[in-house]
């Protein structure tokens, strides 16, 4: 029996899919091609790999501290039990991320085959994916490094390519070399010649094999990541399997990708590297034109999500989140509407959305990081209106959940219950409020909001004061480990 452990890499911010994808809620957690998010789809594909000779363990995810509860909650919603979440204090690319996963997988004395995929890809044919990945797992169980390659159907310049040896045979071909993203003429040449595949960024190999290869090719990354792992901290609660490597040591790790650190050095070395072709309707959804290409379309080539009306328009993508969007007489446009931002772009210029995101980041605009509706481990809040000295929020708290015990230096708050039951700590008083009841939290008063009921609690919060930023908060107690004193 082969033991396989899914490893899902959940880093990245998906800037080319702004304004739907943002740093605080990146594309892997969005539902772009179905009901489930891309992350949930990736997890479901991997946990379904089990067969007579392959046993699949609980998944390991590697993500950032700010996305830990979002990832855990989405796995819970999908009915998938999390093995461990490895929380990177800073981004250091995929090679250190995979090294953390390999060290975690070896910690219990086993040496499983790691099935490593990004969290933000889509696959149309799950049966074909399963078959290819199971074959890769079997090859990797014999100490090979296996990479998945996509059969190209166009001269794509946005992907790196894998060249396989001319006389190697399926289902696992010998990799001859990796080549960088080509120009259009070279990409067409690859397509004409055959023997070239797109690099999908999916890898299958034993944990020990990865560490041995990394130690040989990049001993600096290997040693630095082991040092960070040696000083890791694990949350005490058994319901939150979060592991944090040492921030100081992890920050010192060189930032490098799996490909550059190891994979591109393997052909011709002591490490056998093979490729299994994947023909499953794969896309990395790197920009809005890629999203358009995988969505169902009408007879005029339009792909529309949400409340959309069009006339005499063709080959458009519209994603409407909160209101009616109408198009008249346009071609080849992308329109993405969210409650606080609208993108209009030529579909052929989808990659250039990153320039807008760079401007947002440079001017420190909140639209770079957060949506109007912000998800928290206890629920969410939606900032529905604000002015010079006030802000109005709609807040939902999950059954049994609570916000931190906190205070604010610059604002007071009024709370009105619109659904459910609220348990409110207000100074030395504890109140139970139900629908249509309200209370007032004076500036500087220690307070907490909790939901003791079995249905979601919803309140309207009206803030007033001289400063209404989210950083005006002092936490004294918190279920989710976010106290600042």
Give the per-residue pLDDT at 235: 80
pLDDT tens per residue, range 149-187: 999 989 988 899 999 987 766 778 899 999 999 999 999
Q: Are residues 270 and 295 in the same domain?
A: no
Domain boundary among 245, 262, 283: 283
Q: Which of 348, 351, 311 is nearest to 330 (CA)?
A: 311
The enclosing domain of 34 has a CATH number of 3.90.550.10
Burial of 242 (0-12, 13-18, 19+ CB in 10 A): buried
Order of strands across the sheet with 429-433?
A: 429-433, 422-426, 447-450, 405-407, 474-477
The answer to whether residue 484 is domain-embedded is no
Q: Are residues 146 and 293 in the same domain?
A: no
Q: Which of 382, 442, 449 is nearest to 420 (CA)?
A: 449
Q: Are residues 301 and 226 in the same domain?
A: no
Q: Are residues 379 and 442 in the same domain?
A: yes
The answer to whether residue 364 is domain-embedded is no
- Pairing of the two strands 411-419 and 422-426: unpaired
Q: Are residues 335 and 279 in the same domain?
A: no
Q: Are residues 61 and 168 in the same domain?
A: yes
Q: Are residues 262 and 392 in the same domain?
A: no
DSSP type of residue 51: B
The answer to whether residue 366 is domain-embedded is no
Q: Which domain holds residue 118?
A: 2-283
Q: Are residues 131 and 159 in the same domain?
A: yes
Rounded average pLDDT over 303-325: 97
pLDDT tens per residue, range 84-102: 999 999 999 999 999 999 9
Provide the b/e sequence for 369-392 (b: ≥16 CB within 10 Å). Answer: bbbbbebbbbbbbebeeeeeeebe
Instruction: Supply the pTM of this predicted model.
Output: 0.89
The answer to whether residue 485 is domain-embedded is no
Q: Are residues 186 and 250 in the same domain?
A: yes
The enclosing domain of 381 has a CATH number of 2.60.120.10
Domain boundary among 359, 393, 421: 359
Domain boundary among 359, 393, 414: 359
pLDDT tens per residue, range 52-72: 999 999 999 999 988 998 999
Q: Are residues 340 and 408 in the same domain?
A: no
18 and 70 Cβ atoms separated by less than 8 Å = no
DSSP type of residue 410: S
Q: Are residues 297 and 272 in the same domain?
A: no
Q: Are residues 90 and 186 in the same domain?
A: yes
The answer to whether residue 36 is domain-embedded is yes
Question: What's the rounded Cα separation, in Å, for the pair 164 and 180?
Answer: 15
Contacts of 366 (CB under 8 A, 6+ apart): none
The answer to whether residue 367 is domain-embedded is no
Q: Structure tokens of 452?
A: 């003791």
Structural domain total, the chain = 3
């Amino acid at each position: 029996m082969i033991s396989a452990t899914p490893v899902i890499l959940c880093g990245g911010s998906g800037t080319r899919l702004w304004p739907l994808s943002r740093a605080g809620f990146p594309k892997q957690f969005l539902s772009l091609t179905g009901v489930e998010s891309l992350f949930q789809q990736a997890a479901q594909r991997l946990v379904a790999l089990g067969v007579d000779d392959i046993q699949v363990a609980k998944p390991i995810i590697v993500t950032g501290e700010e996305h830990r509860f979002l990832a855990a909650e989405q796995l819970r919603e999908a009915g998938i039990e999390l093995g461990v979440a490895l929380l990177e204090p800073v981004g250091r690319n995929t090679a250190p991320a995979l090294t953390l996963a390999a060290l975690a997988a070896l910690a219990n004395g086993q040496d499983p085959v790691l099935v490593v995929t990004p969290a933000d890809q889509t696959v149309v044919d799950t049966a074909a994916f399963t078959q290819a990945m199971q074959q890769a797992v079997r090859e990797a169980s014999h100490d090979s490094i296996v990479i998945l390659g996509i059969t190209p159907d166009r001269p794509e310049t946005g992907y790196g390519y894998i060249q396989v040896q001319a006389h190697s045979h399926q289902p696992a071909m010998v990799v001859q070399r990796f080549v960088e993203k080509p120009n259009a003429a070279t990409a067409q040449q690859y397509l004409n010649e055959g023997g070239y595949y797109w690099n999908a960024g999916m890898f299958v190999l034993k944990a020990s094999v990865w560490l041995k290869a990394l130690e040989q090719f990049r001993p600096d990354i290997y040693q630095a990541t082991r040092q960070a792992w040696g000083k890791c901290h694990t949350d005490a609660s058994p319901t939150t399997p979060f592991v944090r490597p040492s921030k100081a040591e992890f920050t010192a790790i060189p930032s490098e990708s799996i490909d550059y650190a190891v994979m591109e050095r393997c052909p011709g070395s002591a490490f056998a590297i093979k490729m299994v072709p994947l023909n499953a309707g794969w896309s990395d959804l790197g920009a809005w034109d890629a999203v358009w290409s995988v969505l169902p379309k009408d007879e005029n080539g339009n792909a529309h999500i949400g409340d959309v009306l069009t006339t005499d328009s063709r080959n458009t993508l519209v994603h409407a989140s909160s209101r009616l969007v109408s198009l008249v007489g346009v071609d080849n446009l992308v329109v993405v509407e969210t409650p606080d931002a609208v993108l209009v772009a030529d579909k052929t210029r989808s990659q250039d959305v990153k320039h807008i995101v760079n401007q947002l980041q440079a001017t420190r605009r909140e639209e770079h990081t957060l949506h109007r509706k912000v998800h928290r481990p206890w629920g969410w809040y939606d900032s529905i209106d604000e002015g010079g000295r006030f802000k109005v929020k709609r807040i939902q708290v999950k059954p049994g959940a609570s916000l931190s015990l906190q205070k604010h230096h610059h604002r007071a708050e009024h709370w009105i219950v619109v659904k459910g039951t609220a348990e409110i700590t207000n100074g030395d008083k504890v109140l139970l409020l139900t629908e249509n009841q309200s209370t007032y939290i004076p500036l500087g008063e220690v307070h907490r909001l909790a939901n003791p009921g079995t249905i979601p609690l919803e309140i309207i919060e009206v803030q007033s004061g001289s400063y209404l930023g989210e950083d005006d908060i002092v936490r004294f107690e918190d279920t989710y480990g976010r106290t600042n004193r």
